[in-house]
Amino acid sequence: MTRLAVFDCDGTLVDGQADVCWAMERAFTRAGLTPPDNHDVRRIVGLSLPAAVRSLAPALTDEQNRAVTEFYRTSFRARREEGLLDEPLYPGIAELLQALHGAGWQLAVATGKSDRGLAACLASHGIAHLFTSLQTADRHPSKPHPAMLEAALLEVGAEAHEAVMIGDTSFDMLMARSIGVASIGVGWGYHAAPELLASGAARVAQTAADLAAALEEALP
């Protein structure tokens, strides 16, 4: 039996909130708009960029949304090229991924990041080789649309009952629930545990060790 663990990235594998908040503030400012509060920005981490901007500022015109989106991309890219990005892995995640891979699990990522951003993030931590499938916002609708998760299942050759979605936001849980995939929330990200549970999470792990145990229970 195939066992597939699909991970969100920001807020689940890595803590990139500081850079996301910085880039969003810079993007709105460059577009001549009032930047959103950082708390609100953290709430939309995980959505694709245009959807995130729309959620933060629904009154913007399409032209303004495109401007903010492009300013965000260029600012984030420049920060990466300057070596200023700070996207540390959460404690125990590297060891968890290695252990799952060694135990025969197939691993995938479903993220609102771009292809380039995800590739750079995984490469910087030396974990890219552990993943069989990488699904990003470049090729799919924003979460909670299930396209990314469906693509991961197809690429790996797994059925919905053979997979678990792991994420820190309700977007991840709702995406999984919509196609009958089990989901586990993580308590170290950007949405609170009660919200994750209400959105379909079977449980919320508080540490990487807790997540390992939850995965074994979900797909023994």
Task: Name the residues annotated as catalytic.
Answer: 8, 10
Q: Which two tokens stand for residue 47?
A: 């959505």
- CB of 149 closer than 8 Å to CB of 110: yes
Distance of CA 157 to the CA centre of its chain: 22
Q: How far apart are CA 87 and CA 13, in angstroms?
A: 9
- CB of 6 closer than 8 Å to CB of 152: yes
- CB of 88 closer than 8 Å to CB of 14: yes
- CB of 130 closer than 8 Å to CB of 34: no
Q: How far apart are CA 130 and CA 68, in angstroms?
A: 34
Please give the backbone phi and psi of residue 35, each rounded to the nearest 5 degrees, phi first: -65, 145
Q: How far apart are CA 103 and CA 176, in angstroms?
A: 23
3-class DSSP assignment, residue 47: strand
Amino acid letter for position 51: A
Q: How far apart are CA 32 and CA 35, in angstroms?
A: 9
